[in-house]
Chains A and B, each alone.
Chain A
Amino acid sequence: DTGVSQNPRHKITKRGQNVTFRCDPISEHNRLYWYRQTLGQGPEFLTYFQNEAQLEKSRLLSDRFSAERPKGSFSTLEIQRTEQGDSAMYLCASSLPAGQGGEKLFFGSGTQLSVL
């Protein structure tokens, strides 16, 4: 399967702990996005990479959140000092460059985070 892969699928943690999620995009995609989705809502944009450069960050991404894409391939999203309000599905998506079909996003199945 050559789709977007996210690990882990589920994560349960205690409040105050740090968690890290991984996303492996489709190999030829240079753009990578992180979204957060809560029940009954659409995905909310968090941040976006083009290759290894983080080009945009939402105001939703507090200083407890950090994302990296060190070699322009896989990406990690870390949440420090988790809070119960961080409980959500964290979705990763990737796309081709603009002008080459980059409008279409391919999503992974997400990581469901539960903070107790």
Chain B
Amino acid sequence: SQKIEQNSEALNIQEGKTATLTCNYTNYSPAYLQWYRQDPGRGPVFLLLIRENEKEKRKERLKVTFDTTLKQSLFHITASQPADSATYLCALAPTNNNDMRFGAGTRLTVKP
């Protein structure tokens, strides 16, 4: 069966450190993978998209890698801040984007 697994339910780190979140998938051949941020009581907000032919994508303090052989994406937040505390969701979509599937998310807490 198809699965999207995010490495842990919760991750606690100290301010200034790098947070690394993992997304593993099985029985998918995604054309691209996305990461979203979700705050309590709000809908997810798009952060980054990486395509199957891209190895790495960066945006400010965010970096995403995509290894289609390992079927894994890593999401990094460098120089983390308490404001980065949120749940981060990994999402996969087939080429036609009709049926985007989300992982359960990892709740990140950055402590001052």
B102 touches A42 (CB 8 A): yes
- How many residue pairs bridge A and B at CB < 8 Å? 59
B11 at the interface (CB under 8 A from A): no
In the assembled complex, B104 has its CB within 8 A of some CB on chain A: yes
For A101, the closest partner residue in chain B by CB is B49
A contact residues vs B (CB 8 Å cutoff): 4, 31, 33, 35, 40-45, 48, 55-56, 58, 91, 93, 95, 98, 102-110, 112
Please name the residue on chain B nearest to A6 by beta carbon.
B43
Query: A98: which B residues are within 8 A, CB to CB?
Result: 96-97
- Other 11 A-B pairs with CB < 8 A, given A33-B100, A98-B97, A104-B49: A35-B102, A42-B104, A43-B102, A45-B100, A56-B98, A58-B99, A98-B96, A103-B32, A108-B43, A109-B43, A110-B43
Q: Are B46 and A105 in contact (CB under 8 A)?
A: yes
Decide yes or no: A104 and B99 within 8 Å by CB, A43-B44, A91-B43, A93-B43 being known contacts: no
Which residue of A4, A41, A58 is within 8 Å of B43 (Cβ)?
A4
Q: Is the CB of B98 within 8 A of A55?
A: yes
Chain B residues within 8 Å of A, Cβ to Cβ = 4, 9, 32, 34, 36, 41-46, 49, 89, 91, 93, 96-105
Distance (Å) between the CB of A26 and the closest chain B CB?
13
Task: Please list 23 pairs of residues, one from A and one from B, whose beta carbons are closer than 8 Å in the complex, sorted by A's number.
Answer: A35-B102, A40-B9, A42-B91, A42-B105, A43-B89, A43-B102, A45-B100, A56-B98, A56-B99, A91-B43, A91-B44, A95-B97, A103-B49, A103-B97, A104-B49, A105-B46, A105-B100, A107-B43, A107-B45, A109-B43, A110-B41, A110-B42, A112-B41
